[in-house]
Structure 1
Amino acid sequence: MNILMGIIGILFTFFLAWLVSSNRKLAFKKWKNIVILLALQLVFAFILLSTGAGQFVIEGLANGFNALLGFAAEGVGFVMGDLMVGEDGGVADVFFFNVLLPIIVISALIGILQYTKILPLIIRGLGILLTKVTGMGYLESYNGAASMLLGQSEVFISLKNQLPHLPKHRLYTLSAQAMSSVSLSIVGAYMTMLDPQYVVTAIVLNLFGTYVIVHILNPYDVTDAEDEADVDDNPDAGKSFFQILGDYIMDGAKVAMTVAAMLIGYIALIAILNQVFLLIPGMEITFQDVLGYIFMPLAFLIGIPWSEAQQAGSLMATKLITNEFVAMLDYTAIADDFSRKSQAMISVFLVSFANFSSIGIIAGSVKGLHDGSGNKVATFGLKLVYGASLVSVLTAAVVGIFA
């Protein structure tokens, strides 16, 4: 049954992408690339979710991030002092301390990897490998690898020399990759709210899923002349070690504070909307309940049982209109209400930057590097969220086969 619902979910996702395709005939011609990329998604989903080797890798990554969170707690504890002590004498259960502030430490480590040229080497190597299977140019392959490790703002810095020369369709692909990925600096934060195996699986599957959706929704061919990539994979060249370290520490702090501000604003606004709906005579459901009913058919068609589809749809919609952290916090409160399959599918759906607020972040980041390119990104903002959300839907449908 899982396999049948998974196939239905995958085909339904393809149909939703094809409906808004910029070139439906060319999309059909990309079927070989789509099949290869989908096969890679299925293989990696099987390895990560159903094999001992996959579990070993995930356990190692989870232990590594847990260790980093422990080290981060030393720094947070020194600054926050008694605020870190709970009523029982243990560590206080404060989201800002335990989940957001550790982002600073992981960001600092990313800076060290950048300075030592380890991170650029990894990204360039993955980019070269991806060119063999994606059916796209090196620039799209390089950016796909970079998006998997860097934030949706930082990833465009290495492409600053290319941005002025890129047509709209290639900018769409690069932006979709940034929105469908997550930043390495916040992976540890995700792992405090979701099962690590689903976080890792989502990151890997979203990488290939973005190319699948783009081949359908935004198909194009790249000539050798167009693919002469002038990539600056070391934008921090010339800076000293402590300059780079300080920059990345401050970047991590900005991310932590930005997420905190968004959580305060979005959670409060949702609470207000929920209350407004309850004040309407005869209305006994909240704003989030309504969103759940709207997204309920989508959740069911990709494989989530009908009895759980309304709650799942509510979480999916919450992520779309707010951000993944808000949805994850809502999910952790009701996770036990779902079957294991639904837990897996919802978890992987939540792991990406696909939401409306990301339009402004990506467009603003690109605009800061090249004004004209930023304006182009802003014109396809809604289609960008649509495509990136379909990547999450496709990942959830694939995971549902093995959950």
Structure 2
Amino acid sequence: MTINVNSALQAALGIVVFMVLVLPFSKDRHRIHWRLVAIAIGLQFLICWTMLKVPFVKEALVQTNLAVAALGSATLRGSSFVFGYLGGGEAPFSVTNPNRLVIFAFQVLPLLIVMSALSALLWYWRVLPLLIRSIAVIFEKTLAVRGPAGLVATANIFLGQTEAPLLVKPYLAGMTRHELLLVMTAGMATIAGSVMVIYAAMLGEFFQGAMGHLITKSVMSVPASVLFAHLLLPETEAKQQGLQTPPRIYQSTMDAITRGTSDGLSLYLNIIAILIVLTALVALANGLVAYLPEVAGAPLSLERIAGWVFAPLAWLMGIDWDEAQRVGSLLGVKSVLNEFVAFIQLSAMPAEALSDRSRLIAIYALCGFANLASIGIQISGIGSMAPERRSDLAALALPAFLAATLASCMTASVLAIVTS
């Protein structure tokens, strides 16, 4: 086994730098409990090592990729039944280039709808609530993250940034500012289970075991979110009482299937629309930037500019400097646009553009909802559940964005050290 000492040292430095970056914005540095910070970092290492190095756990995560393949195959049966060859069915003509027949909206994205319905079904059958509660107990014992905020932070491993707070809607109005920040940070530092399957399917074409890594990253993001929420806004108010079990949402199996399908359809259409708009806006912006003088013999673009800005962060995650600008470009796209566009660009990169190790680190850094659009989504989404806290949500949105971004960077650094 080759040990990459330089990469590990870079990543170790990155863990320190990421924490130092938030300290100037901390509301009360004297109340920071460094023991909690150390436990949160140690827990990330323990989770990463356990899920990637312990044989039977590693094998279990490998099996999740088989589940993704089975879901993809089943979804293609449904999409081809509805859309014919556009949805993956047999073409009624001679095909000279099969790759040109892969239509993203009809063959890849329908998996969102199926996964949304399946998630709702697993929730009604109490499978997901049991899993969430079991994981939440671990974080309660180690990080003292209790009550509604702890439940939401854990639920974000599987649910979206506005779906998870719905579980504790009656408790949102009474949360402390620290608890609200934790809820928002965890929401931006993770991704929903429905899109997780999509990303695993996209990345699986060139990266083996993608689903297992996405799950590992999401679990690691909980202690990372607790860490940065604590650094930015240490708890000074009395916490709420503990919440024992996640509430029941659906009334029957058919109710879960129909409502889950409806929610999935809404997400499906929203992603299609946002991809069209964001791709068009990037093209327009690049067209304008191209009028500026060339730099180093090449025209400027948003991707190149983002690469220069975010390259130091990429280097601090353990990525070689000659690849840091490419990963930095993806980080910029993820932060300004969204992670979906960034993952599409990562999937489209030629094999020689990034080493396998850099691709893996990039996956961890990109896996999260921390982008500018999420600020508006959380203020409006969570604000509609607790209108009286809208001003607090607006004030905490940018700190949550910063905390979630650095939380994802820290998980990538931890991965770089564990896999060195």
Range class of TM-score, shorter chain: over 0.9
- Listed one character per residue, the Cα deviations across residues 12-39 of structure 1 (whole Å, up to 9, x for unaligned) are 1111122211211112xx2222222211
Structure 2 partner of 1:22: 27
Counterparts of 2:413 and 2:224 in 1: how far apart (Å)? 11
**2:249 alignment partner, one of 233, 236, 252:** 236
The residue number in structure 2 matching 1:93 is 102
Q: Are residues 1:209 and 2:218 paired? A: no
1:363 to 339, 363, 379: 379
- SS of aligned partner of 2:345: helix
Conserved? CA contact 2:314–2:328, under 8 Å: yes
In the aligned structure 2, how far is the partner of 1:169 from the partner of 1:396? Answer: 25
Q: Which residue of 2 aligns with 1:338?
A: 354
The count of residues paired between Structure 1 and Structure 2 equals 398
Mean alpha-carbon deviation: is it higher for 147-156 or for 48-57? 48-57
Structure 2: unaligned runs, 5 residues or longer = none
When residues 278 and 115 of structure 1 are mapped into structure 2, their CA distance, relative to the original with a 3 A threshold, is same
1:139 Cα deviation after fit: 2.5
Decide whether the 8 Å contact of 2:184 with 2:397 is kept in 1. Answer: no
Correspondence 1:146-295 to 2 at 5 A: 146-194=155-203, 195=207, 196=210, 197-220=212-235, 223=238, 226-229=239-242, 233-236=246-249, 239-282=251-294, 284-295=299-310
More displaced 10-residue stretch of structure 1: 78-87 or 306-315: 78-87
Change (3 A) 1:232 1:311: same
The answer as to 2:395 corresponding to 1:390 is no
8 Å contact kept, 2:147–2:243: no
RMSD: 2.0
Q: Which residue of 1 aligns with 2:128?
A: 119
Partner residue of 2:369 out of 353, 360, 365: 353
Structure 2 counterpart of 1:48, from 48, 51, 57: 51
Shift of 1:235: 4.5
How far is 1:232 from its partner? Answer: 7.5
Residue among 93, 110, 117 paired with 1:108: 117
Taking the aligned partners of 2:140 and 2:293, their CA distance within structure 1 comes to: 58
What are structure 1's unaligned runs of at least 5 residues? none
Task: Kindly report which structure 2 residues correspond to 1:52-91, keeping only aligned pairs within 5 A, or say none.
Answer: 52-83=55-86, 84-85=88-89, 87=95
CA distance in 1, matches of 2:246, 2:56: 32
Asked whether the 8 Å contact 1:202–1:395 carries over to 2, the reply is yes
Separation in structure 2 between the aligned mates of residue 324 and residue 259 of structure 1, nearest angstrom: 11
* Residues 38-47 or 352-361, more deviating: 38-47
- TM-score when scaled to structure 1? 0.93
1:294-323 superposed Cα distances (whole Å, 9 cap, x missing partner): 112222233211111111111101000011
What code does the residue aligned with 1:129 have? Answer: I
Q: 1:132 — aligned with what?
A: 141
Map of 1:377 onto structure 2? 393
Q: What SS class does the counterpart of residue 380 from structure 1 fall into?
A: helix
Does the CA-based 8 Å contact 2:160-2:192 persist in structure 1? yes
Summarize deviations over 1:82-135 as a string: whole Å, max 9, x none.
213463596831222232111111111111112222222222232222200113
Tell me, yes or no, if structure 1 residue 36 matches structure 2 residue 39: yes
Alpha-carbon distance in structure 1 between the residues aligned to 2:254 and 2:97: 37
Matches of 2:58 and 2:350 in 1, distance apart? 21
Is residue 153–residue 182 contact of structure 2 (8 Å, CA) maintained in 1?
no
Q: 1:88 to 1:61 in 2, by over 3 A?
A: farther
Instruction: Measure the CA separation in 2 of the matches of 1:132 and 1:340.
Output: 36
Q: CA deviation at 1:230?
A: 5.4
- Compute the TM-score of the two structures, normalised by the length of structure 2: 0.89
